[in-house]
Amino acid sequence: MKNKLLFLGPPGAGKGTQANLFCKKYGLEHLSTGDLLRDEVSSGSALGNKAAEVMNKGELVNDELVLSIVERRLNNINKGWLLDGFPRNVNQANSLKNLLDKINQPLEGVILIKIADAYLIKRLLERGRKDDNEQVIINRLKIYREKTSPLIDLYRKQGILEEIEGNADIDVVFSSIEKALGR
């Protein structure tokens, strides 16, 4: 059973929602770099304050900081894991590959949640997180297209990518993910 996973997709696609459900049902560790960064921001640390400025503009936090957070967590997990929101660019994907080679835990499956921009903007405006205003959402979508979407081809070429339609009820999307992962 595949249990070293990555959920990929634009902001608002439902990565966090689906990753939560999946990890609860199958006992995997959910590693969301967005959540981990927001924890750092809430702690009021100097790093958190610096990250908040970047996140509130919809830009990417620097790779070294994100990598150090992920590395610390991955090194201490004894069960399967699910990455959500990481990697976010080719550099992070290469670093992840090096890290996973080192700990001998190769990535086994990538789920791409696909959905049109118009639905995403509506969903995120309704959610209303600090970085969910129209201008910042448009920037997050731009960054996704420029920096993150090249990872789709990377994982497709490795033969581990499964594509899921994200514009459906939460339980329907969840069933599609389970099916794609052979659960």
Closest contact distance (angstroms) between CB of 164 and ligand AP5 is: 10
Instruction: Mention every residue, 6+ apart, whose C-beta is less than 8 A from residue 168.
Output: 176
The answer to the question of residue 9 lying near ligand AP5 (CB under 6 A) is yes
Helix (H, G, I), strand (E, B) or coil at 9: coil
Give the single-character DSSP code of 87. Answer: -
Choose which of 15, 41, 109, 164 interacts with ligand AP5 (CB under 6 A).
15
The answer to the question of residue 83 lying near ligand AP5 (CB under 6 A) is no
Rounded CA separation 140/160 (Å): 25
Q: Which is nearer to ligand AP5, 1 or 42 (CB)?
A: 42
Choose which of 88, 96, 155, 176 interacts with ligand AP5 (CB under 6 A).
88
Residues numbered 105-164 forming contacts with ligand AP5, rule: CB under 6 A: 123-124, 127, 131, 140
Helix (H, G, I), strand (E, B) or coil at 181: coil
Rounded CA separation 36/18 (Å): 17
Give me the phi and psi of 97, to 5 degrees please. Answer: -60, -45
Neighbours of 42 (CB within 10 A): 10
Q: Which is nearer to ligand AP5, 79 or 142 (CB)?
A: 142
Interface positions with ligand AP5 (CB under 6 A): 9, 11-17, 33-34, 37, 54-55, 58-61, 66, 85-86, 88, 92, 123-124, 127, 131, 140, 169-170, 173
